[in-house]
Amino acid sequence: MLSAAPQRRTPFLVAASAAVALLSGCSGDGAQPAGANAEPAVSAIPTIAEATTLRFPLDAFEATDEQNRTLARAQGILTSRCMARFGFSYQAPQDTSPQQPRGGSRRFGVTDLKTASQYGYRNPRTAGSEPPRDTGRGTLSKTAEIALLGEPGLKPEDLPASQQEAERQGGSATEVNDRRIPFGGCTRESFLKLYAPKPGTVDLLYVFNLRNQADSEYRGDSRVRAVDRRWSDCMAESGYRARDPHNAAEELGLTDARSGPEAISAAKADVACKHRVNLVGVHYAVLSAYEQRAVERNAETLKLAKDQLDERLRLAASLTG
């Protein structure tokens, strides 16, 4: 589920950038035996204090936050144009959610001392978030809502999978103002025009699923487990019993008070222990190696996904520029 404010550049970013090129397919001390399920080689572990501005191999194949905002605006424009064909003036709601603040990345749990001191275990991205925004549907007539969303009771498997297929089918049997509405209404049409104009479009969740798989695999890696144990021992010295840095708040029973005084104290100890054992550096290096392996194993499909993303962004720019 989105331009970002300039980030403070710190020395660890230089080390991290240099390490990315060495993460996978390299020989060196501690290299694992070759094989499909072997732990990928990591020839260098950078020293990293915070995980707020790190880049990963699979990032190149997904839209940034700002690009996602542009895509959302473009889809809104396509929806409005579609509704105009049926005689309706419709303005798609604008995304007014704030940009992710510094310290918002939680891929390795809380890692920024300043953020921990202010928010504890609460993600600053959700702190002070606005209530769900109005979709604008409440002001639509029943006929306009059908034009926007299509006939009630539609099943996903009955909807066209691409805009080419939708145009070939010619629309649903339901008419509004003497025009057949698209299957799934203008909302579906705008989605297909932007995200699936032709058959063979790579599933939008493809990269997300690869990332999740890499994340799941890396958590069981022996190097990650070892640094997690060192972090856990450090936390115990401060009086906190936790074994998984990804779920420290849950293990400490702080899920209902993530930003209270107790949570802030625990989060500060958590960050200090991560710094002491270089947990972020180890996690980043190992996770990047698993992602790089996924990139290499799925190079053909990922290239296609990236090409389609670039085409999508060009269309969005032409609509919103």
Show the 3-state SS of the chain: CCCCCCCCCCHHHHHHHHHHCCCCCCCCCCCCCCCCCCCCCCCCCCCCCCCCCCCCHHHHHCCCHHHHHHHHHHHHHHHHHHHHHCCCCCCCCCCCCCCCCCCCCCECECCCHHHHHHHCCCCCCCCCCCCCCCCCHHHCCHHHHHHHHCCCCCCHHHCCCCHHHHHHHCCCCCEECCEECCCCHHHHHHHHHHHCCCCCCCCCCHHHHHHHHHHHHHHCCHHHHHHHHHHHHHHHHCCCCCCCHHHHHHHCCCCCCCCCHHHHHHHHHHHHHHHHHCHHHHHHHHHHHHHHHHHHHCHHHHHHHHHHHHHHHHHHHHHHC
Which stretch of 26-40, 69-83, 151-165, 243-257 has the lowest confidence by average pLDDT? 26-40
Q: Would residue 178 count as lying in a domain?
A: yes
Q: Would residue 316 count as lying in a domain?
A: yes
Give the residue-averaged pLDDT of 33-48: 82
CA distance 165 to 155: 16
Give the residue-averaged pLDDT of 98-117: 75
Q: Would residue 4 count as lying in a domain?
A: no
Domain that holds residue 307: 11-127+135-320
Q: Would residue 5 count as lying in a domain?
A: no
Q: Would residue 2 count as lying in a domain?
A: no
Q: Would residue 177 count as lying in a domain?
A: yes
The single residue listed with the structure tokens 């699979």 is: 58
Tell which residue, 60, 301, 59, has the closest CA to residue 202.
301
**pLDDT tens for each residue of 61-85:** 999 999 999 999 999 999 999 999 9
- The answer to whether the CB of 243 falls within 8 A of the CB of 251 is yes
Give the residue-averaged pLDDT of 125-136: 54
Give the pLDDT band (50/70/90) at residue 10.
Answer: very low
- Which range, 22-36, 43-57, 306-320, has the best average confidence (pLDDT)? 306-320
Q: Quick one: 20 exposed, middle or buried, by C-beta within 10 A (0-12, 13-18, 19+)?
A: buried
Q: Would residue 83 count as lying in a domain?
A: yes
Q: Return the pLDDT at 28.
A: 33
Give the residue-averaged pLDDT of 20-41: 51
Percent of the chain with pLDDT over 90: 70
Q: Amino acid identity of 295? A: V
Find the radius of gyration of the CA atoms of the chain.
Answer: 24
Instruction: Report residue 136: phi and psi, to 5°.
Output: 85, -5
Number of structural domains (the chain) is 1
Most distant CA pair in the chain, distance: 74
The single residue listed with the structure tokens 């890696």 is: 221
Q: Would residue 182 count as lying in a domain?
A: yes
**pLDDT tens for each residue of 170-229:** 999 999 999 999 999 999 999 999 999 999 999 999 999 999 999 999 999 999 999 999
